[in-house]
Amino acid sequence: MTSPAAFSRRRLMQGFAATTTLATLARPVVAMPTNPDVVVIGAGAAGLAAARQLIDYGLEVVIVEAANRIGGRAWTESDTLGVPFDRGASWLQGPADAPHVAQARALGFDLRDHSTPRDMLFIGDRRADGTERRQRDRAWSAFYAALASSRGDVAADTVVPMDAPFAKTVATWMGPMDFGVDIDQLSRQDWYAFAEYEANYLVREGLGTVVASLGEGLPVQRDTAVQRVDWSGEGVQVETTAGTIQARACIVTVSTGVLASGAIRFTPDLPEAKQTAIADLPMGQLLKVGLMFDGARFGLSPDDFVSHDIDGPLPAEACYYLAFPAGHDYMTGFMGGSFGRAMEREGEEAAIAFALERLVASLGSDVRRHFMRATMAGWDGNPLSRGAYSAARPGGFAARHALAEPLGDRVFFAGEAMATPYATLVTGAHMHGARVAEDIAFTLDAPGCSSCAARKQNPIRIPGTD
Ligand SMILES: Cc1cc2nc3c(=O)[nH]c(=O)nc-3n(C[C@H](O)[C@H](O)[C@H](O)COP(=O)(O)OP(=O)(O)OC[C@H]3O[C@@H](n4cnc5c(N)ncnc54)[C@H](O)[C@@H]3O)c2cc1C
């Protein structure tokens, strides 16, 4: 999810600029090679970006995807609500020149700026008054000041003022809703390293549709799960449910949840440092419930946030909402962290009932009269993600860099978990995939990589090695 923009994360590292651009839109279909140079494991944002770039560098690529669709955790469908509903990512966020923004514009997608949304805070069944809203705003500022001025990779709840008025409301936004973890599981360093968004859009046709458009024409082998990567010899042997593919290198883009599950085995085993990095990057949870209404707006405007005060213990039984995204007639309820996890386990009926009930508590029984149908989008139980997005454990922030280290010159890793300072984001995954593609092209001496030639002439100097 995303925090209300008035409290958006501070502008920090600008170093990871969007150096990649999306290739031209009309692209020929690339044939599926039998002996590719590179196997890309996973057709999410990172895998698709990496594959495009590798093909542009003149390398032969096969993308192996376990699902029957591309896009990974960016997935728009219209079957359940009758209009585009993003079951995974929905905000197109990142640097001003985030690659998907250009792609979406060029394809004529309807982008709705969401950089200054209203956050309608409810206390019981009434809207917070001016004094209460100012108190809530002061709590946000105090949280930011405390996190920014403290040091170390500690749990956020050890440094923020948890006894301030509205602290629990803010802690619930910041932890479960934004990072997918309870506030006592949120790494201060992970929060600090996250760059402020310059672009922040909702896409009426769905963000998943934008990401899927990047896969058009690419050689993707769907319904094919990778089960083992053998990197014991020269190159790699990638064992899949449809046979073994021999290649010079592979790029692993599955989530840290999938890596931790052991669904893909490595021969030889992953080195200990890599296993520690995976363990330090568990998946956060963000459960979404789409609630379709008959056109009623309950005094809200499209793209408003609706949140509620928390007065019980944390982690709270909270559901915050995005009202009528991009003008659609549904509201999306979000439940994150351990409560979101518990609700997903209880099942769709219970999650929908809770999301509806919680909304009635704020907006009144009119909500029930105008309610039509609903759907739950859970990712915790999805074996192809095992959670929503990575959240470094307190003390584990360095794992984002450690995970990105390649194994030898043949097993590379890419994806949102390594995409600092845009970790957890679609845009980050895309930019990281493209960057790792350049590393591979350099390693494999790809003929079409002009930036590789420049790198050879001016090799990157690693401080302390000369
Ligand atoms: C509910 C939710 C809300 C989110 N909200 C936002 C948001 O608003 N904005 C934002 O920018 N980001 C958001 N995100 C995060 C965003 O979706 C991810 O960061 C991004 O899509 C990750 O891309 P990726 O390529 O790194 O990984 P993935 O998209 O997970 O791609 C990996 C691919 O690997 C495949 N795979 C898994 N196992 C195997 C296997 N054994 N063999 C072959 N293939 C396999 C998977 O099916 C998947 O397609 C959200 C995510 C969720 C779940």
pLDDT one-digit tens code per residue, 381-417: 999 999 999 999 999 999 999 999 999 999 999 999 9
Average pLDDT over residues 115-125: 95
> How many Å apart are CA 102 and CA 20, to the nearest integer?
11
- Which of 48, 384, 412, 435 best tests ligand 1's pocket when mutated (most atoms within 8 Å of CB)? 384
How many degrees, rounded to 5, is the angle at CA 152 between CA 312 and CA 147? Answer: 45
- The residues lining ligand 1, judged by C-beta closer than 6 Å to any ligand atom, are 41-47, 64-67, 72-74, 88-91, 93, 225-226, 253-255, 258, 263-264, 286, 288, 379, 384-385, 388-389, 415-416, 424-427, 429
Nearest CA residue ID for atom 26, ligand 1: 415
- Residue 363: what residue type? L
Q: What pairs with residue 373 in β-bridges?
A: 292
Residue 94 identity: G
230-265: pLDDT as tens digits: 999 999 999 999 999 999 999 999 999 999 999 999
Q: Atom 27 in ligand 1: which residue has the minimum CA distance?
A: 44
Q: What is the pLDDT of residue 30?
A: 80
Q: How confident is the model at residue 21 (pLDDT cuts 50, 70, 90)?
A: very low
Confidence of residue 200 (pLDDT cuts 50, 70, 90): very high
Give the number of the atom of ligand 1 that is nearest the alpha carbon of residue 416: 26
Q: What is the pLDDT of residue 459?
A: 52
Q: Mean pLDDT across the stretch 105-120? A: 95
Topology of 116-196+286-377 in CATH? Polyamine Oxidase; Chain A, domain 2 (3.90.660)
* DSSP label at residue 418: G
For the stretch 48-86, pLDDT in tens is: 999 999 999 999 999 999 999 999 999 999 999 999 999
pLDDT of residue 181: 98
Task: List, in sequence order, the alpha helices (H) in 112-172.
Answer: 130-149, 167-172
Calculate the alpha carbon distances from 372 to 43, 99, 292, 368, 375 in Å.
Answer: 34, 36, 5, 9, 11
167: CA distance to ligand 1 center in Å? 31
Q: 421: cis peptide before it, omega within 30°?
A: yes
∠ Cα 187 355 358 (to 5°): 95
pLDDT at 450: 85
Q: In testing the pocket of ligand 1, which one of 426, 431, 432, 436 has its CB within 8 Å of the most ligand atoms?
A: 426
The secondary structure element, H or E, covering residue 402 is helix 399-403
Distance between CA atoms of residues 57 and 452, nearest Å: 10
CA–CA dist 419, 436 (Å, integer): 11
Q: Quick check: bond before 383 cis, omega within 30? A: no
What is the domain partition of the chain in residue ranges?
5-73+207-281+390-457, 116-196+286-377
Average pLDDT, the chain: 92
pLDDT tens digits, one per residue of 286-326: 999 999 999 999 999 999 999 999 989 999 999 999 999 99
Per-residue pLDDT tens digits for 140-181? 999 999 999 999 999 999 999 999 999 999 999 999 999 999
User: Which distant-in-sequence residues (6+ apart) come within 8 Å of 230 by Cβ?
Assistant: 236, 237, 238, 239, 266, 267
- Domain 5-73+207-281+390-457, classified CATH 3.50.50.60, yes or no: yes
Pocket mutation for ligand 1, best pick of 254, 286, 403 (most atoms within 8 Å of C-beta):
254
What are the angstrom distances between the C-alpha of 272 and each of 75, 202, 275, 276, 410?
33, 40, 5, 6, 18
The pLDDT assigned to 11 comes to 32
User: Tokens for 50?
Assistant: 């990496």
- Rounded Cα gap, residues 206 and 165, in angstroms: 37
More confident residue, 12 or 327: 327
Q: How many angstroms does the Cα of residue 151 sit away from the middle of ligand 1?
A: 31
